[in-house]
Amino acid sequence: MPKTLLLSSSSFFFSRHNKFSSLPRKFLYPSTHFPSLSWPFSGVFPRPIHACKVFTMAERTTTSSSHSQKYTNRLAAEHSPYLLQHAHNPVDWYPWSEEAFAEARKRDVPIFLSIGYSTCHWCHVMEVESFENEEVAKLLNDCFVSIKVDREERPDVDKVYMTYVQALYGGGGWPLSVFLSPDLKPLMGGTYFPPEDKYGRPGFKTILRKVKDAWNNKKDMLVKSGAFAIEQLSEALSASAASNQLPDGLPENALQLCAEQLSKSYDSRFGGFGSAPKFPRPVEIQLMLYYSKKLGEIGKPGGAKESLKMVLFSLQCMARGGIHDHIGGGFHRYSVDECWHVPHFEKMLYDQGQLANVYLDVFSITRDVFYSFIARDILDYLRRDMIGSEGGIFSAEDADSAEFEGATRKKEGAFYIWTSKEIDGILGEHTNLFKEHYYVKPSGNCDLSRMSDPHNEFKGKNVVIEGNDSSALASKLGMPFQEYFDVLGECKKKLFDVRSKRPRPHLDDKVIVSWNGLAISSFARASKILKGERQGTDFNFPVVGCDPKEYMEVAEKAASFIRRHLYNEQTHRLQHSFRNGPSKAPGFLDDYAFLISGLLDLYECGGSIDWLVWATELQDMQDELFLDREGGAYFNTPGEDPSVLLRVKEDHDGAEPSGNSVSAINLARLASMVSGSKSDHYSQIAEHLLAVFETRLKEMAMAVPLMCCAADLLSIPSRKQVVLVGHKPSVEFENMLAAAHTSYDPNKTVIHIDPTNTADMEFWEANNGKVALVARNNFAADKVIALVCQNFTCSPPISSPKSLEDLLSKNTPSAV
């Protein structure tokens, strides 16, 4: 086997969303990270293809995936949008199932496994080029059993084979194409394969024939090697802790190391960390905000302001860039250039939830409504376009769409881009103002970087981007700023109305528990943090400007949807996703961890005690299903499905945070709410978890920014508790809750209790008698009382929201 399989365990903690995850259209040809396949297919891939040679092909193949229904395969009975997209291919697809495995064993043929997701651009390309091709289909049907997997529906299956491809070949992405033995061991794999031999590299048909020949002639060697690969990966991924906690000083050092590493990659010209293509990785922002606050607390205001400055500039550049959908709200997946201008246009729920939260955090630090506006922009986009009638929040919108009704081709970005002439015909008298503000040009504006549009795909088109300072332009036109701001809003609404009549990108309307957990958190937090906006603040389209309490209603409705449709009240188990019914897949670690985090935010921001009760029940079930009680940390799957060959302890905080990082923070929060042995139990699990990843924190802190924050949180002797006592719901209680959430402080827990509420008192009597006692001793029928407690000491009772704000704002990093 290749030596890369023999690396240390730390080499195998990969992100679900590395920089090849969405297969960048402009810079990285998706097969750049194909395996060389020097074994056992010597010479199959002599060298990578340079990107500039393939984009004509890619453009030619971005046609609609609709195929005359001459064929119908087993995928027609599935619920996944991705699988349904392939239901009428001539390929005889199976879903991931025992039926498929049995067929491969019966015929003694290898399995071709194709993994993707419904909004994946290059998955569409490979479908059109290969899976709708009858010659390719015949090869697959005659020589293989072909299986389609939606990676969003079965992340456990995807993780096994993505880890294999990454470990052997150094990269991965989607579509993921892997050949397996009938007992599911991997034989070889890659990502996107073009159909024909080109530029000295074999096409998909050639690869199929090579694999078939190798299976017929070298089967024993293939099978042994596949088994060895899984054995090596399983050993590498089963990390255990040498002790039950991290060494003294490591949390502080890891936090500092991560911040220093990120600072070195900071782009002082365009914001963000790293170079093009640029991904909005919110965990990096979270780390820098946390570190800034930490420096402020230890008397290093200069360092605190410098770290905060990087965050502010990065978030401003992202919000003004084309990665932000100025017309409809929300953010696209990533920018192909260094200046956040031309995006890969797909929109993912996990980005929206996390980005809304970091913009809320920065608003709570700066009180600058620029950041609250962007948070609202994201949340209002979700409310308008991404929520079902029962409250579940959908997973994604595609990058590709038809340019006009009836078009047989789909093009990336067609829904979002504009010609200058189109804008002239829509905006009338305000055309010039809008075009100057958003850098719209007759020749097209994708010229800010050589990386923005190197192959002239968007020639004559404009991706709107704020290219000039609003105040300066308003002054130049002799307009009051608010009037200028309002005119821009009117223009955006007119363009939105026209855009709404275009063919929409495909909507993946799966409801995924983990991603809903991220969104629930941001909606709940917005309901209180945004109460800090100045009274009379004006907003313009696409922001609605609603009362922040409406966001709490969205959060509660989403959580209720999950409890009603994806939670078994008898077994206390979650299912992973919902579309026309629950998926067959069980809940995974991320589903439990992200939902628990969302429920804790839901409770802390004023939700019912029932949400906190459910969070503790889910934590108990998470421990039962995923916790390695001897070795420490959580596996990503329950380990109950024999067809899933690896259980991974994942730590990488990528496009999404890792389940272990989020769990460590959840455990710290829960430990600060309950008392006695249960609090100790939560803390011990968290400390043992972090110890598993000691080497990672020491040597590769930048890969685990949220875990660095978690380690530091756990190292603090006492978490700050804000206890609110009074009648709820009431205006006074809401105002005090808003005050409790005014300042940015990740080391803060908000507990609210109404001594006249039986459910409240029963929970706290059973789980933390001290809180119940504080409630009884400080209850007043005519006011709400707050106490701030830390290090076994509580402040005197506070009854004024302003006084509570002042007390909590100490050591908050000052605005830059």
Structural domains of the chain, with CATH? 74-237 (3.40.30.10), 250-399+505-713 (1.50.10.20), 400-504 (no CATH), 717-810 (3.40.30.10)
CA dist 291 and 711 (Å) reads: 12
Return the residue matching tokens 């990843």: 693
DSSP 8-state symbol, 392 = P
Select from 701, 691, 649, 695 the least CA-distant residue to 10.
Answer: 695
User: Would you place residue 11 in the very low, low, confident or very high pLDDT band (cuts 50, 70, 90)?
Assistant: very low
Query: Taking the CB of residue 77, how many other CB atoms lie within 10 A of it?
Result: 11
CA dist 249 and 672 (Å) reads: 22
Q: Which residues contact 428 (CB under 8 A, 6 or more apart)?
A: none
Q: Is 183 strand, coil or helix?
A: coil
Cβ–Cβ under 8 Å, residues 415 and 503: yes
Identity of residue 147: I
CA dist 650 and 659 (Å) reads: 7
In angstroms, the Cα distances linking 38 to 1, 47, 201 are 11, 11, 13
CA dist 230 and 248 (Å) reads: 36
At 805 the pLDDT is: 95
Convert the pLDDT of each residue in 259-280 to its tens digit.
Answer: 999 999 999 999 999 999 999 9
At 69 the pLDDT is: 84
450 pLDDT higher than 90: yes
At 810 the pLDDT is: 77
In angstroms, the Cα distances linking 742 to 141, 515, 728 are 61, 25, 19
User: Would you place residue 88 in the very low, low, confident or very high pLDDT band (cuts 50, 70, 90)?
Assistant: very high
Select from 737, 815, 808, 805 the least CA-distant residue to 367.
Answer: 815
At 238 the pLDDT is: 76
CA dist 750 and 734 (Å) reads: 13
At 21 the pLDDT is: 33
User: Would you place residue 526 in the very low, low, confident or very high pLDDT band (cuts 50, 70, 90)?
Assistant: very high
The stretch 792-812 carries a mean pLDDT of 88
On the CB side of 560, CA atoms within 13 Å amount to 12
- Which of 11-20, 74-83, 120-129, 592-601 has the weakest average pLDDT? 11-20
On the CB side of 110, CA atoms within 13 Å amount to 31
Convert the pLDDT of each residue in 590-609 to its tens digit.
Answer: 999 999 999 999 999 999 99
- Which of 105-119, 162-176, 358-372, 754-768 has the weakest average pLDDT? 162-176
Q: Which residues contact 406 (CB under 8 A, 6 or more apart)?
A: none
Cβ–Cβ under 8 Å, residues 23 and 190: no
At 781 the pLDDT is: 87
Could you tell me the sign of the dihedral formed by the alpha carbons of 650, 652, 656, 659, in that order? positive
> Kind and range of the H or E element at 357?
helix 349-366
CA angle 596, 601, 605 (to 5 degrees): 150
Convert the pLDDT of each residue in 774-791 to its tens digit.
Answer: 999 999 988 999 999 988
Convert the pLDDT of each residue in 156-205 to its tens digit.
Answer: 999 999 999 998 888 889 999 999 999 999 999 999 999 999 877 889 99
Residues counted in the chain: 816
At 465 the pLDDT is: 97
Q: Is 186 strand, coil or helix?
A: strand
Partnered with residue 793 across adjacent β-strands are 790
CA dist 110 and 767 (Å) reads: 55
b/e per residue, 93-123, with b = 16+ CB within 10 A?
bbbbeeebbebbeeeebbbbbbbbbbbbbbb
The stretch 678-685 carries a mean pLDDT of 97
At 169 the pLDDT is: 82
2 pLDDT higher than 70: no
Q: Which of 164-168, 401-405, 689-693 has the largest mean confidence?
A: 689-693
User: Would you place residue 63 in the very low, low, confident or very high pLDDT band (cuts 50, 70, 90)?
Assistant: very low
The stretch 42-67 carries a mean pLDDT of 34
At 68 the pLDDT is: 54
Cβ–Cβ under 8 Å, residues 690 and 720: no
Cβ–Cβ under 8 Å, residues 430 and 487: yes
Select from 616, 415, 444 the least CA-distant residue to 505.
Answer: 415
30 pLDDT higher than 50: no
Percentage above 90 pLDDT, the chain? 83
Identity of residue 223: V
Pairing outcome for strands 176-180 and 186-190: antiparallel
Query: Taking the CB of residue 253, how many other CB atoms lie within 10 A of it?
Result: 17
The stretch 384-393 carries a mean pLDDT of 98
What are the strands of the beta sheet with 785-790, ordered from one edge? 748-753, 720-725, 785-790, 793-794
Select from 569, 542, 570, 558 the least CA-distant residue to 607.
Answer: 558
CA dist 609 and 600 (Å) reads: 10
At 74 the pLDDT is: 97
CA dist 517 and 732 (Å) reads: 29
At 199 the pLDDT is: 76
User: Would you place residue 237 in the very low, low, confident or very high pLDDT band (cuts 50, 70, 90)?
Assistant: confident
At 171 the pLDDT is: 82
Convert the pLDDT of each residue in 728-784 to its tens digit.
Answer: 889 999 999 999 999 999 999 999 999 999 999 999 999 999 999 999 999 998 899
Cβ–Cβ under 8 Å, residues 601 and 524: yes
323 pLDDT higher than 70: yes
Report residue 778 as tokens. Answer: 């400080």
The stretch 542-557 carries a mean pLDDT of 97
Return the residue matching tokens 């589903």: 591
401 pLDDT higher than 90: yes
At 654 the pLDDT is: 94
DSSP 8-state symbol, 23 = -
At 172 the pLDDT is: 87
Select from 443, 467, 466, 465 the least CA-distant residue to 456.
Answer: 443
